[in-house]
Structure formats: structure tokens, C-alpha cells
Structure 1
């Protein structure tokens, strides 16, 4: 069943999910423009869609490093926007310093890992820590956690399937040699 499923297919499916999510949030925002929050959720989905689109250029050597940073930051910005949307929805203050610190810190680490130390595990861990940092912002933990868990579940399913496909293809390649 999974022999024809590869990472590119999974990435494409993830992109379709992001585009669908963006459309739903945008329509929700347009129908309830007076409610504070859904506009930020729309921006969150748009950030994921942009990351998905940018990822198509990852194989071009000239822009690969820029694409890697933009793709990673799209996830972190997405969680920032979710946090801000829920804070606005719950009529709470947005802790701008915390958001700025997490985003700039992540950008610095991503730039370091792309320029000096090309380490995918360090990049993925940095992005995960940054996203969880937004989930832990004061005052809106409950709402951010549910939305973040939903997106993380989607990402986890995607990563799990990608990992399984990689392991499966590696095992099949080693038996064919």
C-alpha cells in the first residue's frame, strides 16, 4: 500500500491541507470580521501556505539556504499568529517581547545552522522549541495549546509517514543491492 508513497507526495498532501485550512479561516474571518482573532488565524494558515510554496524551490542550489530558513520560520510565525489570535480572541494582552524574542532567537539559530553547521536535527529541534515557546505564552495557554496540538498532530502524522517511507525505502534499497 505504501510502496508508491514518498516524501514529495506527503509534502504535497500537507500543502493541500494548509491551503484548505487557509481557505476555511479566511472565510471564517470574512463572515465574522468584527470578532478579534480569526484574522490572526488566517495569517497563521497563510504563513504555512507560503512555507509550502517556498519549499518547492529547495532543490535549487542557489536559493536552498534561504528556502530552508524561510520554510522553518513559516512554522514559527504560524504559531506566533495563532498565539496572537487567541490572545485577541480572549481579549488578553499580547506579550510582544516574548513573541519577538522567540522569533528572533529562532531566526538566529536557523541562520547559524544553515551557514555554519548544516544540521537538520538542530533546525527541527529549534523550530519545535520555538513553537512550544509560543504555546507557553502567559494568559492564553489553553487556546493556543488546542490549536497548536491540532497543527502538531497534522505535522506529526506527516513526519511519521515520511519517516516510515524513508525507512521502508532504505530497507528495500539495501535488500536490492
Structure 2
């Protein structure tokens, strides 16, 4: 089996008006991190609900740089999903998010929104190379590139229950 590489950039954005985006898919995701793999890989399972149809996936990632990683992902059965949940990381609660996939100038963006914030969101874009130029949508305000900032990983956001810039007790 060949290696699958993912090159992805991640941006902190102001929560956009979803109705102004060319949304192709709306997906409810519950992502649970599992104990690390033998090679130090990050392991996770996902329950993915799209239009009432639920699928389960298993993913293993090895981080090669802040924007490039080796990734292997495949669909699993509900039984396998529930079996793997017994290996969940106790230091990291499951990530609950809604993902909106939308097109802009022949680019497929993924906007992840979280129940703990109605002001901020994470927007991701898979690239063909780390140097690829990105054409950002005009109706999404990009605050900064957080690709290399581990505080914005799904695991860190789930553990904190908030975005790093929001002070404790401040309304999201």
C-alpha cells in the first residue's frame, strides 16, 4: 500500500454568515482521539452524520511538518467504532463540530464550527503543495494562519473547550 500524504493549511476565521457560502455539504462530526499508535502516530475514530446517514471512520496520522502529514483513513463498521472507543484518550474529550464544505474559485474549503463558539471557527484547505497560493473567499474574514499552532488542533480545542484567545469566563 502506498503512503497517503495530506498537505493542509488551517486558518482562524470570524464565524461567517453560512448562507453567504456556496455550501455543498453539512456534516455533523464526533471525533474521538485514541491512545497513540506504535510509531507515535495520532489515532482517531469519527462518527460522521450527513443528512441522517451515519458512517464511521478510523484515521492514523504521522505529522511530518506543520502542514504535511502521512495519513491513512478508512471506513469501519459501527461495531468496530464502538470497540475502538474503549481505547479513547482520557486526557482529551471527544471533539464535536459541524463541518461546512464549500467551493470558492475551484478550491474546496472546510469550515469547522464548534458548540463552544459563535464568534470564531476554523477553516481548512487541502493543497497540492505547501507553496500553493490560496484565493480566500471575500465573505470570510481570515484572522490568521494557525497551521503550525498546536493550540488550534481539534484535540487542544476539545480539551480547552474554547479558542485560545478567549479568556476564561469570556462569552464565546
TM-score (norm: length of structure 2): 0.24
TM-score (norm: length of structure 1): 0.24
Q: Determine which structure has more spread, i.e. the larger CA radius of gyration.
A: 1
* Bigger fraction of residues in helix: 1
* Bigger fraction of residues in strand: 2
More RCO (CA 8 Å, sep 6+): 2
